[in-house]
Structure 1
Amino acid sequence: MDDQTLDMRPPQDDQGFSPGGLPPRKPRRLKRVIGFVVGGIVLVAVIVGGTIYWLDARHFETTDDAFIDAYTTQMASRVASQVTGLMFTDNQHVAAGQILVTMDPRDYQAKLDQAQAQQVSAEASLQQAQAQVQVQQANVDQAKANVIVTEADLLQARQDYNRFQAINPRAVSRQQIDTSTATFHAAQAKLDANRQTVGGAQAQVHASEAQVLAAQAAVKQAAANAETARLQLSYCTIVAPVSGIVTHRTVETGNYVNPGQALFALVQDDRWVTANFKETQLAAIRPGQDVELSIDAVSSVTLHGKVDSFQAGTGSAFSVLPAENATGNYVKIVQRVPVKIVFDDDRLKDFSLAPGMSVVPSVRVQ
């Protein structure tokens, strides 16, 4: 027999397949082995990666319920007037003390002028009352001087009267005795009258002093009215109380605004993160711990911060409608506590972060 007669295998094509299209057994087994190997490598990689992730993640507490936060000052008018000028544009950064809004000041300028005129009038009345006190005091001094003169006259009259009464009636005439007696009694009466005049003059002094006190009170009231009018006039110019960004503007030039009407918001420059951690996560979190901050708006950069403080109560405790757990059926829900995280990164100034932006903080607890 030749070699063709001894070879009983079915003929195969150039790629090793039989005419029936079935692959040889050896390549199939090789692919199966390769599949098991690849699957094993992937499984080991997953296990190793998961272990590494768990070992690293256990050192952090994180939450996706966190946002950029900032203080917002709602600016409102303090007087009723017409807006004459806006000194800013939308979303402009302004400095503390910068003029932002001007309003028509004419009504308030007129009130200030009137209050100042009343103050001048009150001050003049005070000076007049003070001068009247001096006049009345002079009358008192004059009345006291008259009393002294009258006392001297009375002393002379008493001496003459006693002298005429002591000598022999035959040595003097009856007319001289009557004259000395009348002069003596007249001096007594005049002295009593002058003393009464002193009392009246002193009463006039007290009345004038009371008028001075009333005039002083009127001056203070007029000064207070002038200061109030001055303040009202100053309110026609609205300045920035702090540095920040002007936003949410609701006023236009020419609008008539009323006291308390909101005009715009001023977002202050300071920024921090408010992270609402679950109460079960707080056991390991302490103020001063380092925090890695991933911000959606700048996802390519991880900023650094530190835990600053905890709110003294859960978020639900300060909600508009707090839960009434003492009524009906109770279902326990894990509460969240706002945690303040401050930035500790000089790169913060390179980004424009606005309140409300989403943040994912990772607090290193170990």
Structure 2
Amino acid sequence: MAKGVRKIILSGVAVAALAGAGYGGVHWWAEGRFVESTDNAYVQSDITVVSPKVAGYVREVRVAENQKVAAGDVLVWLDDADYRARVHEAEATVEGQRAALQSNAQKQVLQRSIIAQSEATLASAEAERQRAAHEFNRTRALASNDWASRQKLDGAETDLRKADAAVVKARAELAAARDQIRVIEAADAEIAARLHQAEATLEAARNDLENTAIRAAVDGVVGNRGVQVGQYARPGVQLLSLVPLPDVYVVANFKETQLARMRPGQMVSLSVDAFPGQTLAGKVESFAPASGSKFSLLPPENATGNFTKVVQRVPVRIALPRDNPLAGLLRPGLSVVAEVDTRGAEERPHLAGDVFGAIIPNRAVAVK
């Protein structure tokens, strides 16, 4: 009796094992063989490092660690006394150049009056010269018939020479006045250039003053805050970081042998270690332009005598919807397990510019 029961149990176990193996085989054939998985994946975000554009002592810190901020909010105030003084100085320089430009315009008006006066003087001198010439010609004709004295002829000749000299002088004065207007116009262009330079300096000073208020460039959460009141801040030195938590994505580092059937747009199942039991749906967005080792601080040099082939990994960016179940809870750096469903890879074309956009079929190469 016991022997029969045992036989029945063993038969049931064998049938269950065969059924499980069959189900597993069918599942692997239908789905499993198309799934590429890796646990070398992490939550990432485009973290913004906040640093000042100008140097100065920190006057006020308006945010705390882990505080939410919106784009445009003031994070840190720098002491702006020196920058305000530079703005006032630049404004005074601009006003001075504008006054100089206005003064030069008045000089032009005055010089045009002088030119008009010189033209009138020249016209008067030419009229006087014409009168003196007529008088000289008349006196010379009378003197040739002894109707006028030699002394009167000499006086008429002297008057003509004086009139000629007056015309030459008037013409010279008119030319000088016209040259002076060109000098004033050139000075006007020079003053205008200095005015533009002063206005540019004023704009730069105002920008520096505005930059003493360090504002958030994006919506996010403050992290890695290292700034304190009284600290001397310099351009390029990190004060804090802003993490846009809703806008996170996953970077999965797949082996190069897993990439043949991967395409942008394929669905990805994501499991975050920090939230067991929660599965997120993502989508393959893009591939890195090179393997991770190529972007390392010291890329490997394989042209050496001691070469060991190592399977390379390529970062794959996986997009997450903003309304995913863990929106706002995911933090950059969390570990993720990513499973890419590569079914239908043959019908899904590569996008232009993808790293694996062109798969070249294997060809036999003759080695000479």
Give TM-score, length-normalised by structure 1: 0.86
Q: Which has the higher helix share?
A: 1
Residues 315-334 of structure 1: pairs in structure 2 closer than 5 A: 315-334=292-311
**In structure 2, what is the equivalent of residue 108 of structure 1?**
83
Residues 119-158 of structure 1: pairs in structure 2 closer than 5 A: 119-158=94-133
2: CA distance between counterparts of 1:169 and 1:303? 130
User: Bigger shift: 32-41 or 130-139?
Assistant: 32-41
2: CA distance between counterparts of 1:155 and 1:106? 73
Deviation of 1:300 (Å): 2.1
Tell me the secondary structure at the aligned position of residue 141 of structure 1.
helix
Contact 1:303 1:345 in 2 (8 A): no
Pair 1:97-2:49 in alignment: no
User: Bigger shift: 62-71 or 131-140?
Assistant: 131-140
2:140 pairs, out of 158, 165, 172, with: 165
Measured on the aligned residues, the alpha-carbon RMSD in Å equals 2.0
1: CA distance between counterparts of 2:167 and 2:328? 96
State the number of aligned residues.
Answer: 340
Q: Percent identity?
A: 38
- The residue type equivalent to 1:232 in the other structure is D
Contact 2:222 2:242 in 1 (8 A): yes
Pair 1:235-2:211 in alignment: yes
**In structure 2, what is the equivalent of residue 4 of structure 1?**
none
Deviation of 1:331 (Å): 2.2
Pair 1:118-2:80 in alignment: no
Deviation of 1:264 (Å): 0.2
Q: Deviations over 1:213-254 (max 9, x none)?
A: 222222222222222221111111111111111101001223
2: CA distance between counterparts of 1:344 and 1:280? 28
Tell me the secondary structure at the aligned position of residue 277 of structure 2.
coil
1:365 pairs, out of 332, 342, 347, with: 342
**In structure 2, what is the equivalent of residue 270 of structure 1?**
247
In 2 relative to 1, CA 38–345 (structure 1 residues): closer, same or farther, beyond 3 Å? farther
2: CA distance between counterparts of 1:299 and 1:157? 118
1:180 pairs, out of 146, 153, 156, with: 156
Q: Deviations over 1:319-357 (max 9, x none)?
A: 111111122232222211111111246335644111111
Pair 1:36-2:13 in alignment: no
Greater Cα radius of gyration, structure 1 or 2: 1
1: CA distance between counterparts of 2:324 and 2:243? 20
Residues 277-316 of structure 1: pairs in structure 2 closer than 5 A: 277-316=254-293
Deviation of 1:130 (Å): 2.2
Gaps of 5+ in 2: 344-368
Pair 1:59-2:30 in alignment: no
2: CA distance between counterparts of 1:264 and 1:345? 25
Deviation of 1:163 (Å): 2.2
Tell me the secondary structure at the aligned position of residue 39 of structure 2.
coil
2: CA distance between counterparts of 1:299 and 1:349? 12
2: CA distance between counterparts of 1:113 and 1:296? 58
2: CA distance between counterparts of 1:297 and 1:233? 45
2: CA distance between counterparts of 1:221 and 1:346? 51
2: CA distance between counterparts of 1:185 and 1:333? 108
Deviation of 1:190 (Å): 0.6
1:79 pairs, out of 50, 54, 57, with: 54
User: Bigger shift: 278-287 or 198-207?
Assistant: 198-207
Contact 1:304 1:345 in 2 (8 A): no
**In structure 2, what is the equivalent of residue 50 of structure 1?**
24
Gaps of 5+ in 1: 1-25
Contact 2:270 2:279 in 1 (8 A): yes
- The residue type equivalent to 1:230 in the other structure is R
Q: Deviations over 1:248-284 (max 9, x none)?
A: 1001223232232210011134211111111111111
Deviation of 1:84 (Å): 2.2
